[in-house]
Structure 1
Amino acid sequence: MAEFWKSLPSWVRNIVVPIVVLVVAWNVLWAVLGLVGAVIAFAFKALIVVGIAAAVVILVKKAAKS
């Protein structure tokens, strides 16, 4: 691998490789942030559904008593 790296022209090592690394890192960062955002959104929606279901159960129990 070291031989391959040394065989590359200096402009490739100094310009092209860092740009490719930045583009890949940027895409990985946004993929991770998108995944985390999706998980948080799903958890938020699940909590809303559970809260609504709990309110319905409480209201049905109160209605059944009276």
Structure 2
Amino acid sequence: MAELWKSLPSWVRNIVVPVLVLVLAWNIVTFVFGVVGALLAMLVKLLVVVGIAAAVVILVKKAAKS
């Protein structure tokens, strides 16, 4: 690996490789934020559905008593 790195021209080592590393890091960060955001969105939707279901159950029980 060291031979391959030393065989690269200096402009590749100093410009191209850091740019590729930054692009890869940016893609990984956006992927992580996307996954976390999707999980949070699903959690919020689940909480809304559970809240609506609880309200329906309470209303049905009140309606059954009267």
Give unpaired runs (5+ residues) of structure 2. none
Superposition pairs of residues 1-66 of structure 1, within 5 angstroms: 1-66=1-66
Q: CA deviation at 1:21?
A: 0.4
Q: Which runs of 5+ in 1 are unaligned?
A: none
Q: Number of aligned pairs?
A: 66
- Taking only aligned residues, the RMSD between alpha carbons, in angstroms, comes to 0.6
Deviation at 1:55, TM superposition (A): 0.4
Find runs of 4+ consecutive structure 1 residues off by over 6 angstroms: none
- What is the alpha-carbon distance in structure 1 between the residues aligned to residue 42 and residue 2 of structure 2? 46
Alpha-carbon shift at residue 65 of structure 1 (Å):
1.0
